[in-house]
Amino acid sequence: MDNETSSAKKVKVKVPGTSANCGSGFDCLGLAATIYNEFEFTFLEEKRLDISATGEGTELIPTDEKNIVWQSARLLIERAGEGDKIKGAEIRMVNHVPMSRGLGSSAAAIVAGLVGANAVVENPFSRQDILKFATEIEGHPDNVAPAIFGGFTVSVAEKNQVHTFSFLPKIKLKLIVAVPDFPLSTKMARQVLPQSIPLQDAVFNISRASMLVAALIEGKEKFLSCAFDDAIHQPYRTKLVPGMQEVFAAAKKSGALGVALSGAGPCLIAFSAASKKIESDIASEMVQTFKRFNVQAGALILDLDTHGAVAEPV
Ligand code: HSE
């Protein structure tokens, strides 16, 4: 053990990007993917902030009190009753998750702050507590839950509680993500949604979301063909992502099992359990189809993250 007190207050955290909804599971299903933001914290006794970021969206990240990583860390520190001992921090971030694209970059930031602060005050809070705090900050659990637990998640938010069931599917799914070059705010993507939906659309989604979870848990690939489909949010959001339906059709034609808007978009995600060749065909068809609609897009081919956020002392 060394006697440098400052070294005891350092911690590294790695948090996966996430994709909410998975089509039919609007506001309740999510998954964690093998793309990560990395954070190094040095928590300080003095009231001083030194925040810097490299990688995705660097220019958009506040480096003062408004920084969401710091705000989340601070909330946990206060709740742990350590606010008098930890008043500042140095935070270094390396971001790989594209920002404002529907891949959970804000959830990753919130979870990083909470998990990092929890580790430094010797983990008084469980992952379930972290989930509750993260949902309070983010406003919905469908990205923060997979960022914390990894795998596929089903979340139910009640008034004062969030219940999350996390599981690893029996099917080895590849996630093929087309990442358009424009951002889309969740707020705007929610404004286009109706206040109420027809009963048959509710039934459409409930049946498919239930099928999706059952088929993934049991490893029954043949039941996935309809399971990602959605009638309650994607049709209204189509106008926000040029070429969305055509990119979906192209991915399916190239062999995708299912397709969805990733979270509130604009990323589109295709699911495959086939070969590497088919995955790269799907990716290139998605990118080419976007191009026909004057959208420049990159492609990511990812696996499911199985661990969620991880903290380790430095
Ligand atoms: N479930 C949310 C939505 C996800 O679709 O609006 C936002 O990340």
Q: Using a 6 Å cutoff on CB, does residue 143 contact ligand 1?
A: yes
Q: Could you tell me if the CB of 230 is within 6 A of ligand 1?
A: no
Residue 176, Cβ density class (10 Å: 0-12 exposed, 13-18 middle, ≥19 buried): buried
Domain 10-167+305-313 annotated CATH 3.40.50.1000: no
Query: What does the alpha-carbon distance between residue 126 and residue 259 come to, in Å, rounded to a whole number?
Result: 34
Ligand 1 atom closest to the CA of 104, numbered from 1: 8
Q: Give the residue whose CA is nearest to atom 6 of ligand 1.
A: 264
Same fold for the domain at 10-167+305-313 and the one at 173-302?
no
pLDDT at 4: 37
* Superfamily the domain 173-302 falls into: GHMP kinase, C-terminal domain (3.30.70.890)
For ligand 1, atom 8: residue with the closest CA = 263
Residue 299: strand, helix, or coil: strand
Query: For the chain, which residues make up each domain, given as ranges?
Result: 10-167+305-313, 173-302
Q: Which helix (H) or strand (E) holds 248?
A: helix 244-253
CA 6/CA 11 separation, integer angstroms: 11
Distance 18 CA to ligand 1 centre (A): 11
Q: Does the C-beta of 138 come closer than 6 Å to ligand 1?
A: no
Q: Which atom of ligand 1 is nearest to the CA of 190?
A: 6
Q: Can you give the pLDDT of all 314 residues of the chain as single tens digits? A: 333 334 348 999 999 999 999 999 999 999 999 999 999 999 999 999 999 999 998 888 999 999 999 999 999 999 999 999 999 999 999 999 999 999 999 999 999 999 999 999 999 999 999 999 999 999 999 999 999 999 999 999 988 889 999 999 999 999 999 999 999 999 999 999 999 999 999 999 999 999 999 999 999 999 999 999 999 999 999 999 999 999 999 999 999 999 999 999 999 999 999 888 899 999 999 999 999 999 999 999 999 999 999 999 88
State the pTM of this model.
0.94
The reported pLDDT for the residue numbered 8 is 45
Q: What is the per-residue burial (b if ≥16 Cβ within 10 Å, else e) of 132-142?
A: bbbbebbebbb
CA distance 27 to 72: 22
